[in-house]
Amino acid sequence: MKFATKAIHAGVEPDPSTGAIMTPIYQTSTYVQESPGKHKGYEYARSSNPTRTALQKALAALENGKHGICYASGLAATDAVLKLFKPGDEIIAPSDIYGGTYRLMKRIFEPLGLIFKFVDIEEVSEIDRLLSGNTKLVWLETPTNPLLKIIDIGQIAQVCKQRGVLTCVDNTFASPYLQNPLDLGADIVMHSVTKYLGGHSDTVMGALITSDDELAAQLKFIQNASGAVPGPQDCFLVLRGIKTLHLRMQRHCENAGQVAVWLAAHPKVGKVYYPGLPDHPGHELAAAQMRGFGGVVSFELKDDSYEKAVRTMERMEVFALGESLGGVESLCTHPASMSHGGMPREERLKIGLKDTLIRLSVGIEDVEDLIADLDQAIGTD
Ligand X SMILES: Cc1ncc(COP(=O)(O)O)c(C=O)c1O
How many Å separate Cα 176 from the centre of its chain? 10
Q: Pick from 78, 81, 80, 113: which is nearest to 99 by CA?
A: 78
Q: Write out the binding residues for ligand X, residues 79-108 only, by CB under 6 A.
A: 98, 100-101
Residues 6+ apart with CB under 8 A from 107: 342
Q: Write out the binding residues for ligand X, residues 346-375 only, by CB under 6 A.
A: none
CB of 22 to ligand X, least distance (A): 24
Q: Number of residues interacting with ligand X: please give it, by CB under 6 A.
A: 16
CB of 104 to ligand X, least distance (A): 9
Among 58, 59, 69, 75, binds ligand X (CB under 6 A): 75
Q: Write out the binding residues for ligand X, residues 124-183 only, by CB under 6 A.
A: 141, 145, 170, 172-173
* 6, 195, 348, 359: the active-site residue: 195
> For this structure, is 170 an active site residue?
yes
Which of 246/340 has CB closer to ligand X?
340
Q: Report the 3 state secondary structure along 16-37.
A: CCCCCCCCCCCCCCECCCCECC
* 31, 46, 83, 315: the active-site residue: 46
Contact 69, 216 (CB under 8 A): yes
Which of 280/359 has CB closer to ligand X?
359
Which of 181/206 has CB closer to ligand X?
206
Taking the C-alpha atoms of residue 88 and residue 11, their distance in angstroms, rounded to an integer, is 39
Write out the DSSP string of 286-318.
Answer: HHHH-SS--SEEEEEESS--HHHHHHHHHH-SS
Taking the C-alpha atoms of residue 30 and residue 264, their distance in angstroms, rounded to an integer, is 55
Among 49, 53, 339, 356, binds ligand X (CB under 6 A): 339
Which of 131/173 has CB closer to ligand X?
173
> For this structure, is 98 an active site residue?
yes
333, containing H or E segment:
strand 331-333
Which of 141/373 has CB closer to ligand X?
141
Lay out the site mask for ligand X across 192-231 (x = CB under 6 A, - = otherwise). Answer: x-x---------x-x-------------------------
Which region among 68-76, 264-272, 340-348, 355-363 touches ligand X (by CB under 6 A)? 68-76
Contact 99, 75 (CB under 8 A): no
Which region among 14-22, 70-78, 212-220, 310-318 touches ligand X (by CB under 6 A)? 70-78
Among 73, 135, 211, 298, binds ligand X (CB under 6 A): 73
Taking the C-alpha atoms of residue 245 and residue 239, their distance in angstroms, rounded to an integer, is 10
CB of 162 to ligand X, least distance (A): 27
DSSP H helical ranges for 231-366: 232-242, 245-265, 283-289, 306-315, 345-350
Cα–Cα distances (Å) from 317 to 295, 310, 329, 370, in that order, read: 19, 14, 12, 9
Contact 290, 301 (CB under 8 A): no
Which of 45/140 has CB closer to ligand X?
140
* 96, 170, 234, 373: the active-site residue: 170
Interface with ligand X (CB under 6 A): 73-75, 98, 100-101, 141, 145, 170, 172-173, 192, 194, 204, 206, 339
Residues assigned a catalytic role: 46, 98, 170, 195
